Structure 1
Amino acid sequence: MRKEQHPFCPIAQNIVQVLDSFENDYSYEEITVTVETPIRSYVAKTSLQRGLSAMMGIYMVSSGCPIMARLKPMVRYHLPFATIEETVYRSASTYLLGQYFKMKKGLQPDWELKELIRIYQNVQQVNAAMADRLRSSQAKDANINALIVLDVFAKELPQNIE
């Protein structure tokens, strides 16, 4: 991203209220989270870091960050509290469906998932930069650990594909 076009990090701007809300909380606090969608509801008794991670992922992907925007097709079918296996499945399936439509348009598809691996490597870089910002500004660990949970998913996907 060029600083002239984006003087502020779109992710930081999009999640600042979330971060402020949880900056004095510990990641291990047990909570009950309810996620309401027009189609269904999800309820989980979980740690704050896991609940916050599910929300933070949506905020980050829909922030306008050009790197995270590559994951935006998955937001519509987001699965809160997903396991790593479910996330790998959803991500690879979504990507492969996109490649199929590319092929139908006469374009070259990426059946080996090389671009998907590159996307997640870039996401890891964004996560690392965000983690650096959070480490220097947070009183407690809920926000940073929620981001680390997301980064585990970003690291796991390329490893599962390779």
Structure 2
Amino acid sequence: MDLDAADDSVIHYQFRFADGRTWSHQVVLRPDNSQAQVEQAPAWTKLEFHQCKHCPLRPEESPHCPFAQALVAPVELLAQSPSYERVEVEVHWRGREIRQRTSLQRALGSLLGALGATSGCPHTRILKAMAWFHQPFSGTDETLYRVFGTYLLGQYLRQQRGLGADWSMNQLREVYRKLRQVNLGMTERLRAAAVEDSGPNGMILLDLLAADTLYSLDQYDGELDRFFAAYFE
């Protein structure tokens, strides 16, 4: 795949299945949510269809759930594949190529994380900065490092602009509590739409990472201390 290394606004995912099927999807960091896309969206993307209880959007202003709209293509193309199916995934991003052979659930969880952050959902907007430096298939430690680092850098940049800074990360706790509600709400939405389990299970995987992050915020047990030994000298 010949990609422009300078184009950092598109993340390319390509899935290869054991039976020879291939499927590609792009995460566009500057999305074009046109009216035509809205009109063609399936019924399960309507805002009021299992709408998250804490959603601030209103149907008259946003007829469709932005996060659900971002999932239309993955759900349609992967609905017939069980979450445990093994796939080979290539991610092309910033001139790099990352390959991973893993379960569809984990691969889809990585893709859904980037899609959610760029979807326009009010509760995932703060994750957009992380999406610009997307790390496919990241584990708990990597996710925690990126979340903390991104948030604290954001606070530094706020302070540079004369805005208040949340160095205690109290607001981040609230962000992740709301994010967990979004993940659980989207899981219920996908289940109610009767899609194959790869969709809901991908959302459950995201929620596990969100739960780990929230736990570390509420009760940090030194998970990252070993990486910062030089800072404690």
Normalising by the smaller structure, the TM-score range is: over 0.9
Check if 1:76 corresponds to 2:132.
yes
CA displacement at 1:70 relative to structure 2: 1.4
Cα distance between partner residues in 1 of 2:196 and 2:75: 11
Query: Given that residues 61 and 69 in structure 1 are in contact (C-alpha distance below 8 angstroms), is that contact kept between their aligned partners in structure 2?
Result: yes
Q: Relative contact order (alpha carbons < 8 A, sep ≥ 6): 1 or 2 greater?
A: 1
- What is the 5 A alignment of 1:25-36? 25-36=81-92
**1:4 aligned partner:** 60
> Number of residues paired by the alignment?
162
C-alpha change, 1:47 and 1:113, in structure 2 (3 Å) is: same
Cα distance between partner residues in 1 of 2:103 and 2:203: 13
**Aligned residue type for 1:66:** P
Check if 1:88 corresponds to 2:144.
yes
CA displacement at 1:41 relative to structure 2: 1.0
Check if 1:111 corresponds to 2:167.
yes
CA displacement at 1:39 relative to structure 2: 2.6
Query: Given that residues 184 and 203 in structure 2 are in contact (C-alpha distance below 8 angstroms), is that contact kept between their aligned partners in structure 1?
Result: no
Name the SS for the 1:42 alignment partner. strand
1:88-146 CA distance string (max 9 Å, x none): 11011000001111122222211111111111111111111111111122343111111
- What is the 5 A alignment of 1:143-154? 143-154=199-210
Q: Which runs of 5+ in 1 are unaligned?
A: none
1:21-77 CA distance string (max 9 Å, x none): 111111111111010113311101100000011111111111111111111000011
**Aligned residue type for 2:92:** E
Query: Given that residues 86 and 104 in structure 2 are in contact (C-alpha distance below 8 angstroms), is that contact kept between their aligned partners in structure 1?
Result: yes
Sequence identity percentage: 38
Answer 1 or 2: which has greater helix percent.
1
C-alpha change, 1:102 and 1:125, in structure 2 (3 Å) is: same
| Residue number among 39, 47, 57 corresponding to 2:113 in the alignment | 57
Calculate the TM-score normalised by the size of structure 2: 0.67
- What is the 5 A alignment of 1:104-143? 104-143=160-199
For the pair shown, which has the larger CA radius of gyration, 1 or 2? Answer: 2
RMSD, matched Cα: 1.1
